[in-house]
Structure 1
Amino acid sequence: MHSITKNSQDDAQLRRMIERAFGADQVPQDDGFAHEFTHGWFNAAYRIDLGDGTPVALKIAPPAGVAVLTREHDMMRAELEAMRLVIEQTDVPVPAVLYADLSHEILDADYFFMDFIDADNFGIAAAEGRLTRAEIEAGFRDLGRLNREINQIVGPHFGPLLGEGFGTWREAFGAMFEDMLRDGEAVGIDLGWHPDQLRAVVADHADVLDDVTEPRLIEVDLWGKNSMLRDGRIVGIVDHERAIYGDPIMEAGLTSIDLEGFDEAEPFMQGYGMAGLTPSERARRRLYSIALATVMAVETSYRGHVDMSTYNLARECLDQLMAELGHTR
């Protein structure tokens, strides 16, 4: 997908990055050594075939001069921290980081190489009709099981993995939501609702956030398209850049509880071991869905989208959620 945040590079620059990471003897001499993945919206990502034929994956953060959301500053560094935590504290399959360069000496952005996972992208395979219904449900049960294991990691605070956090989840979520609204106001995005209306609705229902007392590592963005499937099993979890310490009920696998058009929550919940949501969890989930719909709308401006389908969907979702809380325009 086209996005102005994608920091794509030509072959000459990719060869310089390969040499820095793996040495001159691993620099490919022939053309066709780099294949760019196009389905993501934020980072540039490649399969790279090294000089000896070994495939690796390369991920490149947005260029320094491109505006990103507040929460997206230095996000690749947070991703590296999330990967470290998951690798060290769980058995969840995460590709090993082979080399990370945060110096900006040969490129105006962070980047890192990691193991290449030779498998199908689960979400893409499902969307293209290459999986049976039973295979899709089994994949989401597997994803739920793995997501639960990730959520067992306890953090030192709520909010960002790196830097200062918050003492309570209410503070952390409130700060994240405020950043989303301010990012939208900065570019004049029309959410269909005045930002103060959305602020007031979240504030009116924020008491339930105090029920979250232990900061857990949550991926936030663990969809089918951020997992890799081989022989009916999830063999790799990728794209950890949005991970934070927070409430597992915010995980993407539960989105369809509120919103249509997203991956079914039931098999995910079965794999997770979640029979249902308590009243507090249900109320919290609705707040997280409001935040998701808000950021979906706002980020379309920061990505330079021409196709307005995501923006239109986000507006519809916000209208639905606000109506459920007794608010109509």
Structure 2
Amino acid sequence: MLDAVDAGDELLLAELEALRLVRERTKVPVPEVVFVDRSHEVCDADYFFMTYVDADNLNAVSDTLAKAESDAYAEGLGAITRELNTIVGAAFGSLTGPGDRTWRAAFLQMVEELLGDGERRGVVLPHGYDVIRAVVAAHADSLDEVTEPRFVEWDLWPGNCMVRDGRIVAIIEHERAFYGDPLMEFGFAGSESSAYGDATAFTRGYGRRPFTAAERTRRRLYNLHLALVQIIETNFRAHTNTEQYEWACARLRETVALLGR
């Protein structure tokens, strides 16, 4: 499989580092990198080859599964996510560094960079940009509980999970991974918003105890960040309909209300 990254070195390097870390430090199945070319001699972009995964995309077959089968896959994703989260980094933020000393600093920068992208493109949010900044700042103290940088896959939803014969045989698309708070993993999103699905089976597979009040606040902040990503990326990806934008705006309004605004 050829994976060409038009966004530049950062995403490609992040994915290569994520694949290396997962292969060297866990037993989680991922494709093997077989060739990397950053010379730009063949094409005007960095690229790499990785091994082909002979399997079905879990999201594509989800409608054909019985509830017990869906729950089994969700539990499996929970267990895989927990294993990924055992990887410890030196600093919070990018896998390739330099990173931040605190999770609060790293997360606030992630949100600010995202908001900056939206402002530059004139993306309309259901709440003003200053309102979003104020909501995040009001709850930023909850981020200080996170003191150890852990590998966070972040984009591990069924669409990035490959299955065959009832088993998860690979996870793909690792360019958004970073060092942060494991509670930011996508599988936990449904714990604060049923619109993202039922997180029960995932949480059971992860082996997670019930959330504390501070952890629930953090998960709401992470849902806010996720909704912002889903809104703002519709502009950068030049979506031709408003379905995702409108859905994500509803999630943002929902999460801001949970955070007290």
TM-score (ref. length: structure 2): 0.97
SS at match of 1:113: strand
Correspondence 1:162 to 2:96: yes
Correspondence 1:117 to 2:49: no
AA matched with 2:140: A
Shift in alpha-carbon separation, 1:158–1:63, aligned structure 2, 3 A: closer
Instruction: Give the 5 Å matches for 1:164-313.
Output: 164-313=98-247
Correspondence 1:60 to 2:4: yes
More contact order relative to length (CA 8 Å, sep ≥ 6): 2
AA matched with 2:138: D
Gaps of 5+ in 2: none
Task: Give distance in 1, aligned partners of 2:118 and 2:194.
Answer: 24
2:160/2:172 contact within 8 Å kept: yes
2:3/2:48 contact within 8 Å kept: yes
Task: Give distance in 1, aligned partners of 2:202 and 2:239.
Answer: 30
Give the helix-richer structure, 1 or 2: 2
Moved more, 99-108 or 313-322: 99-108
Corresponding position of 1:89: 25
Task: Give distance in 2, aligned partners of 1:61 and 1:307.
Answer: 25
The Cα RMSD (Å) is: 1.2
State the Cα distance separating 1:63 from its structure 2 match: 6.2
State the Cα distance separating 1:211 from its structure 2 match: 0.1
Moved more, 201-210 or 98-107: 98-107
2:220/2:258 contact within 8 Å kept: no
Correspondence 1:320 to 2:247: no
Correspondence 1:146 to 2:80: yes
Gaps of 5+ in 1: 1-56, 65-72
AA matched with 1:187: R
Bigger Rg over Cα: 1
1:157/1:245 contact within 8 Å kept: yes
Task: Give distance in 1, aligned partners of 2:164 and 2:188.
Answer: 23
* Corresponding residue pairs, total: 261
State the Cα distance separating 1:153 from its structure 2 match: 0.2
Give the share of equivalent positions with the same residue, in percent: 49
1:63/1:108 contact within 8 Å kept: no
Task: Give distance in 1, aligned partners of 2:40 and 2:238.
Answer: 25
State the Cα distance separating 1:192 from its structure 2 match: 1.4
1:257-312 CA deviation, whole Å, 9 max, x = no partner?
22233242111111100132121211100000001101111110000101211110
Task: Give distance in 2, aligned partners of 1:309 and 1:106.
Answer: 38
AA matched with 1:92: V
SS at match of 1:261: helix
2:149/2:180 contact within 8 Å kept: yes
